Structure 1
């Protein structure tokens, strides 16, 4: 089952910037229940950075097709990110994260 997440370059940039915190995490220090989710998000971050490189010159929206487990891990990450870093972004970034989180939640149900 694929989850479809509509994005544009602005939302992709926000998503990559919010996932930047994963670059500093040490997977070995994470609690056991979170290791798989963090690992999936790290893999997804690599894919998103590659997508950002491919689409940087194009200014149109696209659909990101995610397997269910990656979409679920991304939804959990965005939900936790909003709790731990509520003031890290401005209103555009906060709204973009809220829209992505809402779209993922709607399709994951």
Structure 2
């Protein structure tokens, strides 16, 4: 059976340590979030993002002394969940996010959205 071309195997997201730090900082809200109080439509995305947060924190630890760009390969469902998280929970991101952080989140959202279409 041929693979479907509608949903690619992996979504590629280009990051560096600074963008990864921004993403991990933005995802801190997941540590305090009660999944049971969230709308049903967001529960699966939140759950997937909680798992993804652990992976991204581990990636940050592994790459903390390297100062270069890298690509993370996300299965379609994780990329979709991350895009929904970045879109729906942006209001909860830290108040001290400056223009760099805001632009980094916007670039990640746009890149994910472009590949998920």
TM-score category of the 2 structures, normalised to the smaller one: over 0.9
1:87 Cα deviation after fit: 7.2
| Higher mean C-alpha displacement, 21-30 vs 51-60 | 21-30
Structure 2 portions without partners, runs of 5+: 1-8
| Gap change, CA 1:47 and 1:40, over 3 Å in 2 | same
Higher helix share: 1
Match of 2:44 in 1: 36
Contact residue 13 and residue 72 of structure 2 kept, 8 A: yes
In 1, the alpha carbon distance for the partners of 2:84 and 2:56 equals: 17
After TM superposition, list the pairs within 5 Å mapping 1:49-60 onto structure 2.
49-60=57-68
TM-score of the aligned structures, taking structure 1 as reference length: 0.93
Q: Distance in 2 between matches of 1:31 and 1:107?
A: 26
Q: Does 1:26 find its partner at 2:34?
A: yes
Partner of 1:101: 109
- Partners of 1:85 and 1:29 lie apart in 2 by 15
Alignment pair present for 1:6 and 2:14: yes
CA deviation vs aligned residue, 1:45-98 (integer Å, no higher than 9, x gap): 00000000000010011000000000001011111133x247721000000001
Structure 1 unaligned runs (5+)? none
3-state DSSP of counterpart to 1:50: helix
| Pairwise CA distance, 1:3 | 0.0
In structure 1, how many angstroms separate the alpha carbons of the residues matched to 2:49 and 2:71?
18
What displacement does 1:26 show? 1.4
Q: Identify which range, 92-101 or 31-40, moves more after superposition.
A: 31-40
Give the aligned partner of residue 81 of structure 2: 73
